[in-house]
Amino acid sequence: MKTKNNDLILDKNNFNHDAYRRMRVSHSAEALEGQELVDYVNGRQNLRTATSNNKFAKYTKEEKKQLMGVLNVRNPIKARRNMSPTRYMDIQLPESFDSRKQWGSMCRSVTEVRDQSSCGSCWSFGAVEAMSDRICIHSNGSIQVDLSAKDLLSCCKACGFGCNGGEPFEAWSFWHTSGIVTGSNYTTKKGCQPYTFPECEHHSTKAHFKPCPKELYPTPKCEKTCQEGYDKEYNADKYYGQEPYAVDEDQEAIKKELYLNGPLEVSFEVYDDFLTYSGGVYVHQGGRIDGGHAVKLVGWGTENEVPYWIVANSWNTDFGEDGYFRILRGSNECGIEFGVVGGLPDLKRSPHRVHYHHHHSSASSYDIF
């Protein structure tokens, strides 16, 4: 994969996926940090440009932990009991796909980037973001809600440890069994339970937000009430999902499910070199592992010859490509294809009570009351 005129190990103009799959990150590369890591990453590949011009460069191990929060990147065995409903559908998929272009004008949640603040609640954010999108998509845009990351974070005991990390699959199970109320970010204070913690500057040297506190926030208490002035009771505000499922550990299956049913929650391993991301297609080249992170998968494409996934992060819009990042697709980069979780909304159990009329035609129309 070397080209005549330089020493790139990975060249986007001459990208060889099979050779990449055989590559291993060396122990010496794992030990790199700071500017040395940045220079190493930039010297080896041209899929992206690493930068040290962000706050992560000074983060302690503890502070990095706040950004993570997935206990196990790979789906648990029980998640694989139910496989995605699109698994055996035979459809022609496009070369590239972006949920924001497909559904963004109908569903505002699809284009939203949230901020988990100083709390390891990514597992909750990746879940409620994808669930909110799916409620809108599957109601043809008639139900637009932002499910509450706080309700899920504080009330799902089976999910794990709140701000100290959780399990994405359990989050989707909680949506099915207990339901999740509406919310919003800290600033807009909308819905039944807005998020407890303010947006903060994790990484950027831009000063849109106050810096994130160095200490992890404690997990908020589970409160089965809505904020003052909200017009519904807590239990009447719960939205439910159908039984959740794992998606096969295979890019075609993942693409199909995303294309037909909407954004998904995915987990991956974060290494120090991910924290140098400023745009482009990420591939892990060096640095220590920091932990597991959950995010929302929204699309796929190819740049030059490099296939990628498009992913929404929950570190506000100053991160990466306006809050998003792209990561190599098709080789389970950092485990991104091994922990894909989804579920369909259960609109019959939602507060908007959707009444279906079953016609003999394949299309089903329904009224919203």
Confidence (pTM): 0.91
Strand locations in the chain (E): 97-98, 245-246, 264-271, 281-282, 289-303, 306-312, 324-328, 341-342, 354-357, 365-368
| CATH T-level topology, domain 12-352 | Cathepsin B; Chain A (3.90.70)
What is the pLDDT, as a whole number, of residue 68? Answer: 84
CB 120 within 8 A of CB 164: yes
Ranges 69-78, 254-263, 336-345: which has the least confidence? 69-78
- Token pair of 253, please? 């299956």
d(CA 29, CA 19): 18
> What letter would DSSP give residue 40?
H
Residue 231: which region, alpha, beta or left (left: phi > 0; alpha: psi -120 to 50)?
alpha
Residues labelled catalytic: 122, 293, 313
153-211 pLDDT per residue, tens: 999 999 999 999 999 999 999 999 999 999 998 888 999 999 999 888 876 666 678 88
- Helix/strand number for the chain, H first, E second: 9, 10
DSSP characters over 223-261: --SPPTT-SS-TGGG-B-B---EEPPSSHHHHHHHHHHH
Q: State the virtual CA torsion across 219, 225, 231, 233 in degrees, nearest 10.
A: 130
Residue 145 in tokens:
């809600």
Number of Cβ within 10 Å of residue 17's Cβ equals: 13
Q: Which of 206-215, 224-233, 260-269, 317-326 has the least mean pLDDT?
A: 206-215
Dihedral pair phi/psi, residue 323, rounded to 5°: 95, -10
**Tokens for 5?**
């005129």
Stretch 137-152: mean pLDDT: 96
Rounded Cα–Cα distance for residues 221 and 334 (Å) = 33
pLDDT value at residue 158: 96
Q: Which two tokens stand for residue 272?
A: 């120090």
Average pLDDT score over residue span 75-101:
89
pLDDT band at 363 (very low <50, low <70, confident <90, very high): very low
pLDDT of residue 369: 34
Cα-only R_g, the chain: 20
